[in-house]
């Protein structure tokens, strides 16, 4: 039996012997560079035996092991010999233990070290609990990935890999053997030199943390152990992976890309695709399977489908695939003569193919109504609010906020008032109650499959916050989200239109994309941002033809065009349609007496004259403000009075009876 990372707390002569060069290079905290000669001193062997006996009998771990595993950036805590935590360990899923805590744990007798698996430790452990399970995993490790391994007391193996997002949940009973478990977020594993009643945990002599860096989980293992496997997207335990409806075309495409990357011919890939298509449930059309293979071979040779990356096909790869190898440097004259495809505009200032746009505003302001009407007009090829729609286009609308009943009611109102807008070009998918997350592989593939099937020119996602489970203020997370949307636009040559909300009000002056909730990545990536704003504050105090909330002002931030002037729109409360409004033209910069009256009312019925004047001066000149206050007094809306204090400042009050 080979022992590793043995304790260093033996007293006396034996301890002195152990300071000599060991026979084998130890694994773990002891990093001796010397190697014993063949004629190793017998007393040293005896000392090592004493050391082994100390481990066997004492049952507690050495100081060096605690420090060693912490230096490996693992979160650790103590357990008993029956694998039960000695302390409340949930805290250490989100933070590392302190040196003080570790020092206390070192003194606990009969303790083992447990490593917290998951994101904090950057660790996913695959637990093969039987010889059959070990054989199954080794057979699937076709790339020969070298993985640190721990031999468990009952003859199993723990394979230590980097944390994998798509295997982030603990699971058990996987594989044909039903003896493969995943330990990740919310889990832990005992590590060497831990000991239970069944025996000791030991690092493999050749594959351990000192000889092999933590690798990524092999792609075939991800496929075998992914949570979707348990829901029927792979084969039963006797037959291996068997594809089901909803994933078949994408998985065959993935297989073809993998075969191409591994050097197989297109003929071999076609044969494999036909065989796999026959095993699908229900059977997959062989002609469609062959199309997936041809699609995989249509990309540039360097474009590789990375099964173990978060995105199915990364944005730069799709762009490269479309450009081919034509990434040359041109002189100015050559560049001006180069043939470049024209931009394909879907709706002026709003959407174009292979582009991402965003409509953003406060919550419950009418953005979804605007998006529905835009979708209807694009589907019919009719201009919307004066913005040009060149021709009818197919639109796919994903709605994840408004219930089906509410959405149907709104669409009925809009269509009844415009009976010619009942188009088969508008496709609607309402997933309230089962939210699609574009950052989850299975959901993302479902979206890609639906877009591939229906081939829309424009895809609307409403609202952004429901399509991911990432941290909105994290730049890497939001870059991943925007990469997913850009991938859709480029891969399917369509426009993507996203609905998003504003962040909380800030003292800092913001405009354009910087009003958006979340990291600035969200405002920087879209090619077009349409801000759906309230009217300026001054119009709250005006007697408007419609309620204030029925008006909005559109402002545009465009990457590829000069932005048009801001546009004020108004919503008909009966038909729900938006129309261009001439309200600001009619009101101009004039302040009406009614505005003065409403401002004083909203301030509790009275307001100091100077405060009222300062507020109104934000919107008009001093002369206009003075005149508006005088007119409000003359019309009997308000009255002036003087306060009995120093300087006798004026105060404005709502007149009795008003």
Q: What is the dihedral of CA 11, 13, 17, 18, to 10 degrees?
A: -10
Q: Looking at 116-120, 186-190, 342-346, 647-651, which range is the least confident one? A: 647-651
Domains assigned to the chain: 59-224 (no CATH), 345-587 (3.40.50.300), 593-654 (1.10.10)
DSSP letters for 353-375: TTEEEEEEE-TTSSHHHHHHHHH
DSSP letters for 578-617: EEE--HHHHHTTPPPHHHHHHHHHHTTSEEEHHHHHHHHT
Angle separating helix axes 622-634 and 593-602, nearest 10 degrees: 80
Residue 63 has pLDDT above 90, yes or no: no
Average pLDDT, integer, range 201-216: 91
Residue 78 has pLDDT above 90, yes or no: yes
| Confidence band of 19 (pLDDT split at 50, 70, 90) | very low
| Cα dist from 516 to 53, 194, 355, 487, 534, whole Å | 65, 51, 19, 22, 15
| Confidence band of 587 (pLDDT split at 50, 70, 90) | low
Predicted local confidence at residue 227, as pLDDT: 60
**Using CA atoms, how far apart are residues 401 and 430, in angstroms rounded to an integer?**
8
Yes or no: say if 207 and 149 are a contact pair by the CB < 8 Å rule.
yes
| Mean residue pLDDT across the chain | 78
**Using CA atoms, how far apart are residues 39 and 355, in angstroms rounded to an integer?**
74
Predicted local confidence at residue 124, as pLDDT: 93
Residues 6+ apart with CB under 8 A from 481: 438, 439, 464, 467, 468, 470, 522
In terms of Cα–Cα distance, which of 454, 25, 69 is closest to 205?
A: 25
Predicted local confidence at residue 219, as pLDDT: 80
Yes or no: say if 464 and 498 are a contact pair by the CB < 8 Å rule.
yes
At 479-493, the pLDDT tens digits run 999 999 999 999 899
Give phi and psi for 532, each to the nearest 5: -100, 90
* 30 vs 402: which has the higher pLDDT: 402
DSSP letters for 139-200: HH-TT-----EEE-TTS-EEEEE---GGG-B-EEEETTTT-EEEE-BT-EEE-TT-EETTEE
* 432 vs 176: which has the higher pLDDT: 432
| Cα dist from 14 to 21, 28, 255, 412, whole Å | 13, 21, 59, 89
Pairing relation of β-strands 124-128 and 180-183? Answer: antiparallel
Yes or no: say if 449 and 250 are a contact pair by the CB < 8 Å rule.
yes
For tokens 């609308």, the residue is: 397
- Burial of residue 534 (CB within 10 Å: 0-12, 13-18, 19+) is middle
| Confidence band of 507 (pLDDT split at 50, 70, 90) | very low
Predicted local confidence at residue 586, as pLDDT: 56
**Using CA atoms, how far apart are residues 84 and 78, in angstroms rounded to an integer?**
9
For tokens 């440097």, the residue is: 329
* 358 vs 594: which has the higher pLDDT: 358
Q: What is the 3-class SS of 442-453, one letter each residue?
A: HHHHHHHHHHHH
Cis omega (within 30 of 0) on the bond before 282? Answer: yes
Yes or no: say if 525 and 513 are a contact pair by the CB < 8 Å rule.
no
Yes or no: say if 654 and 605 are a contact pair by the CB < 8 Å rule.
yes
H-state helical runs in 204-285:
219-225, 248-261, 266-279
Yes or no: say if 451 and 494 are a contact pair by the CB < 8 Å rule.
yes
Element (H, E) at 639: strand 638-642
Q: Looking at 126-140, 440-454, 558-572, which range is the least confident one? A: 126-140
Predicted local confidence at residue 330, as pLDDT: 84
| Confidence band of 396 (pLDDT split at 50, 70, 90) | very high
Give phi and psi for 438, each to the nearest 5: -70, -15
Predicted local confidence at residue 246, as pLDDT: 52
**Using CA atoms, how far apart are residues 184 and 147, in angstroms rounded to an integer?**
16
At 425-479, the pLDDT tens digits run 899 999 887 889 998 888 888 999 999 999 999 999 999 999 998 988 888 899 9
| Cα dist from 556 to 50, 94, 172, 244, whole Å | 78, 42, 52, 44
Opening angle at CA 619, ends 359 and 364, nearest 5: 30
First to last CA, the chain: 97
At 516-553, the pLDDT tens digits run 888 888 988 999 999 999 887 767 766 677 888 889 99
* 8 vs 520: which has the higher pLDDT: 520
Please list the residues that pair with 115 across neighbouring strands. 76, 189
Average pLDDT, integer, range 410-424: 75
Task: Specify the 3-state DSSP secondary structure of 8.
Answer: coil
* 421 vs 563: which has the higher pLDDT: 563
Yes or no: say if 526 and 498 are a contact pair by the CB < 8 Å rule.
yes
In terms of Cα–Cα distance, which of 300, 425, 323, 447 is closest to 375?
A: 425
């Amino acid at each position: 039996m080979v022992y590793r990372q043995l304790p260093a707390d033996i007293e006396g002569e034996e301890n002195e012997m152990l300071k000599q060069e060991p026979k084998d290079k130890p694994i773990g905290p002891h990093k001796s560079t010397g190697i014993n000669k063949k004629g190793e001193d017998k007393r040293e062997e005896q000392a090592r035996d004493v050391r082994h006996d100390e481990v066997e009998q004492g049952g507690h771990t050495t100081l060096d092991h605690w420090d060693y595993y912490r230096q490996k950036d693992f979160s650790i805590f103590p357990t008993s010999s029956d694998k039960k935590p000695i302390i409340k360990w949930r805290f250490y899923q989100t933070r590392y233990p302190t040196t003080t805590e570790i020092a206390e744990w070192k003194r606990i007798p009969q303790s083992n070290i447990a490593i917290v698996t998951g994101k904090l430790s950057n660790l996913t452990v695959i637990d093969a609990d039987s010889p059959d399970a070990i054989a199954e995993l080794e057979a699937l490790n076709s790339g020969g990935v070298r993985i640190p391994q721990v031999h468990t007391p009952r003859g199993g193996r723990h394979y230590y890999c980097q944390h994998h997002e798509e295997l982030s949940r603990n699971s058990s009973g996987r594989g044909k053997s039903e003896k493969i478990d995943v330990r990740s977020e919310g889990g832990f594993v005992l590590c060497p030199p831990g000991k239970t009643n069944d025996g000791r945990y030991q690092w493999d002599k050749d594959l351990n943390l000192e000889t092999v860096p933590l690798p990524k989980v092999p792609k075939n293992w991800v496929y075998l152990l992914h949570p979707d496997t348990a829901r029927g997207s792979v084969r039963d335990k006797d037959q291996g992976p068997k594809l089901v409806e909803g994933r078949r075309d994408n998985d065959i495409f993935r297989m073809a890309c993998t075969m191409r990357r591994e050097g197989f011919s297109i003929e071999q890939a076609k044969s494999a695709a036909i065989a796999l298509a026959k095993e699908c449930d229900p059977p997959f059309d062989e002609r469609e399977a062959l199309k997936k293979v041809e699609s995989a071979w249509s990309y540039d040779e360097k474009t590789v489908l990375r099964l173990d990356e978060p995105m199915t096909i990364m944005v730069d790869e799709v762009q490269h695939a479309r450009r081919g190898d034509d990434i040359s440097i041109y002189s100015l004259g050559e560049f001006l003569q180069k043939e470049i495809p024209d931009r394909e505009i879907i709706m002026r200032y709003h959407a174009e193919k292979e582009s991402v746009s965003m409509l953003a505003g406060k919550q419950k302001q009418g953005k979804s109504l605007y998006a529905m009407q835009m979708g209807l007009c694009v589907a019919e090829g009719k201009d919307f609010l004066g913005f040009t729609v060149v021709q009818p286009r197919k639109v796919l609308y994903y709605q994840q906020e408004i219930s089906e009943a509410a959405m149907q009611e709104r669409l009925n109102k809009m269509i009844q008032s415009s009976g010619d807008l009942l188009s088969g070009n508008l496709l609607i998918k309402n997933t309230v109650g089962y939210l699609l997350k574009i950052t989850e592989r299975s959901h993302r593939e479902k979206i890609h499959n639906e877009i591939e099937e229906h081939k829309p020119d424009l895809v609307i996602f409403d609202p952004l916050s429901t399509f991911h489970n990432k941290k909105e203020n994290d730049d890497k997370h939001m870059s991943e989200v925007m990469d997913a949307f850009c991938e859709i636009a480029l891969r399917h040559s369509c426009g993507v239109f996203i609905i998003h909300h504003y962040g909380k009000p800030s003292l800092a002056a913001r405009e354009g994309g910087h009003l958006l909730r979340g990291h600035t990545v969200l405002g920087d990536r879209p090619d077009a941002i349409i801000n759906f704003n309230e009217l300026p504050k001054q119009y709250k105090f005006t007697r408007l033809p419609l309620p204030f909330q029925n008006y909005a002002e559109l402002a545009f931030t465009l990457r590829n065009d000069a932005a048009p002037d801001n546009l004020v729109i108004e919503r008909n409360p009966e038909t729900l349609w938006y129309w261009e409004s001439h309200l600001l033209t009619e009101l101009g910069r004039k302040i009406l007496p009614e505005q003065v009256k409403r401002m004083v009312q909203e301030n509790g019925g009275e307001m100091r004259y100077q405060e009222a004047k300062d507020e109104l001066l934000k919107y008009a000149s001093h002369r206009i403000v003075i005149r508006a206050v005088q007119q409000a007094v003359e019309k009997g809306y308000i009255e002036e009075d003087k306060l009995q204090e120093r300087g006798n400042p004026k105060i404005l009050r709502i007149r009795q009876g008003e």
